[in-house]
A and B are shown apart, each in its own frame.
Chain A
Amino acid sequence: MNAPAYNFAYLDEQTKRMIRRAILKAIAIPGYQVPFASREMPMPYGWGTGGVQVTASILGPDDVLKVIDQGSDDTTNAVSIRKFFAKTAGVQTTTRTAEASIIQTRHRIPETPLTEEQILVFQVPIPEPLRFLEPRETETRRMHALADYGLMHVKLYEDIARHGHIATTYAYPVKVDGRYVMDPSPTPKFDNPKMDDCAALQLFGAGREKRIYAIPPHTKVVSLDFEDHPFEPSRTPKSCALCGADDTYLDEVVTDDKGGRLFVCSDSDYCEDRRGAERSP
């Protein structure tokens, strides 16, 4: 049986044009959710179809692609998506942040500072930051249009009233370029400051919800807070058991049944780099 032939990066060229137009709009209006005609992809909703469509639309034969899932290159999802692009686009892939030109990520921003030569593509489940407070799409669209964000602060207020502090620890809402309130995808709030004045282009794709948004390079991104409860990019106050870093986001690993645990850098590439470890290509 003949193997099916795919267009470069799976999507047909017309679809890529449509998505690129959406991306351009998104860049022109930082933080604004641009609707797009999300396609059927060979993975189900909830598995990164938005991110994959964005990557597919911007990928060129000379790009070097890195795919991470919760900071790691070797989880099932990261491996699957990397292989998908290797097969349909034949592009070079890497696990090293510094060598990649496009990084598709689920739920983390790499620790290594990004450059103007790079693009970060986020996988987004629910793009609407107000969705859990206001279920009506008609209302949330109007709120964004009129910059009517009182409700967002109501949510933060409720957190403080209930827990004594803002309880949101991931998908922490931000204000982009002083205008739109945006959901940064379920990245830990520790990563929020990285989005501010980032040299790389940041693109966000939600496949099921059919939205694309963007933060152009060097854009002001501010996490929402109260004057007397300022935003803190908190992390576990421990050092990485492998490389000793005390300023990275850590994953907790349970080592035995007796409660033993250790903390390691969530960004596996960064950790390996620090250790100067033997690297696989």
Chain B
Amino acid sequence: MSETDAPLLLAEGLTKYYGRQLGCREVSFALYEGEVLAVVGESGSGKTTLLQLLSTQLAPSAGRVRYRLRDGVTRDLAELSEAERRFLFRTDWGYVHQDAALGLRMNVSAGANVGERLMAVGWRHYGRIRGTATQWLDRVEIDPERIDDPPLTYSGGMRQRLQIARNLVTQPRLVFMDEPTGGLDVSVQARLLDLLRGLVTELGLAAVIVTHDLAVARLLSHRIMVMKGGEVIEHGLTDQVLDDPREPYSQLLVSSILPA
């Protein structure tokens, strides 16, 4: 884990209103390289809104998001041009959707799905593109023999793993994940979480993971933010907030987990 002092991602007073409806209010935090932040809450807590604000898919009503680019300069993301933002998304960021179909090209082969970002940044050697795609399929535990199959033929867990490979191939520094294990069978979830955990550590990724599942938060994240009704109720070290919750809502959330 690199110890650069400057934060990688800075949220400052992020607020979003949908008309008069509150999405989220005054969310601020700093995320450093290699840190994983879980944002937990129930439906309507504002966690998905926050993720979309952070990844510039939504514009905030107030506040801003700043990001330290690879050249070391920290920029306000709202000031980036569309081209710069797209480039960022393609090279330095990843976004893992809950529904893998949203993050993949379902009709194009797995190899092309993984290779697309490489081609978008200028890779022009078929053999090398395919080779890199093969390595990544292996890394996310997909049989490399399936490289020419489209994800339409994949199971849900495989699609999700392919989506992860597609996002990580350009070695992004920051990955956003929206309920990455949502809708998957329990055994499949366990395998996926394992994979994510390993990759995050190995690649030194920073990540913001939105989840309603506290077990996912405990397994994957260093820090946690509990949200309710658009507000941040509590935040801190994951194990601290989950083992010694201070706020009433946090205590309620933690106590609601059914024991295994």
Q: How far is the CB of A222 from chain B (nearest CB, A)?
A: 12
**Is there contact, CB below 8 Å, between B112 and A228?**
no
Residues of B within 8 A of A142 (CB): 82
Contact size range, B: 20 to 34
B83 CB within 8 Å of chain A? yes
The residues of B that contact A153 with a CB separation of less than 8 Å are 116, 119-120, 124
Contact A150 B119 (CB under 8 A): yes
Residue of B nearest to A142 (CB): B82
B126 contacts A157, C-beta separation under 8 Å: yes
The verdict on A151 contacting chain B, using a C-beta distance below 8 Å, is yes
Contact A157 B129 (CB under 8 A): yes
Among candidates A149, A150, A162, A228, residue contacting B127 with C-beta atoms closer than 8 Å: A228
Interface residues of B in 18-63 (CB under 8 A from A): none
A149: chain B residues at CB < 8 Å are 120
Q: Does A148 contact B (CB under 8 A)?
A: yes
- When the two chains form the complex, which single residue of B83, B119, B125, B147 contacts A154, counting CB atoms closer than 8 Å? B119
Chain A neighbourhood of B82, CB < 8 A:
142, 145-146
| Contact assessment for B111 and A150 in the assembled complex, using a CB-CB cutoff below 8 Å | no
Is A227 interfacial (CB-CB < 8 Å)?
Answer: yes
Known contacts: A148-B120, A150-B119, A150-B120. The answer to whether A157 contacts B112 by CB under 8 A is yes
> Is B247 in the interface zone, CB < 8 Å from A?
no
B219 close to chain A: CB less than 8 A: no
For A145, the chain B residues whose CB sits under 8 A away are 82
Task: Check A228–B119 contact: CB distance below 8 A.
Answer: no
How far is the CB of B82 from the nearest CB of chain A, in Å?
7
Q: List residues 78-128 of chain B with CB under 8 A from any CB of chain A.
A: 82-83, 86, 90, 105, 108-109, 111-112, 115-117, 119-121, 124-127
Q: A150, B116: Cβ atoms under 8 Å?
A: yes
B120 touching A227, Cβ below 8 Å: no
Q: How far is the CA of A149 from the CA of B86 in the complex (A)?
A: 12
In the complex, what distance in Å separates the CA atom of A148 from the CA atom of B105? 16
User: What A residues does B148 contact at CB under 8 A?
Assistant: 161-162
B120 touches A157 (CB 8 A): no
A226 contacts B126, C-beta separation under 8 Å: yes
Interface centre among A146, A150, A151, A227 (most CB of B within 10 A): A150
Closest residue on chain A to residue B85 by CB atoms: A146
CA of A81 to CA of B112, assembled, Å: 43
* Chain B residues near A154 (CB-CB < 8 A): 105, 108, 112, 115-116, 119
0/1 interface trace, chain A 222-240, chain B, CB 8 Å (1 if under): 0001111100000000000
C-alpha gap A147/B82 in the complex (Å): 12
Q: How long is the Cα–Cα vector from A146 to B80 in the complex, in angstroms?
A: 13
Bound Cα distance A142, B126 (Å): 26
Closest 7 CB pairs of A and B: A150-B120, A153-B119, A226-B126, A227-B125, A150-B119, A154-B112, A146-B83
Beyond A150-B117, A157-B112, list 10 extra A-B contacts (CB 8 Å).
Answer: A147-B83, A150-B116, A150-B120, A150-B121, A151-B116, A153-B124, A157-B115, A157-B129, A162-B109, A227-B124
- Could you list some 11 contacts between A and B, CB below 8 A? A142-B82, A150-B121, A153-B124, A157-B112, A157-B126, A157-B129, A161-B112, A161-B130, A161-B148, A227-B126, A228-B127
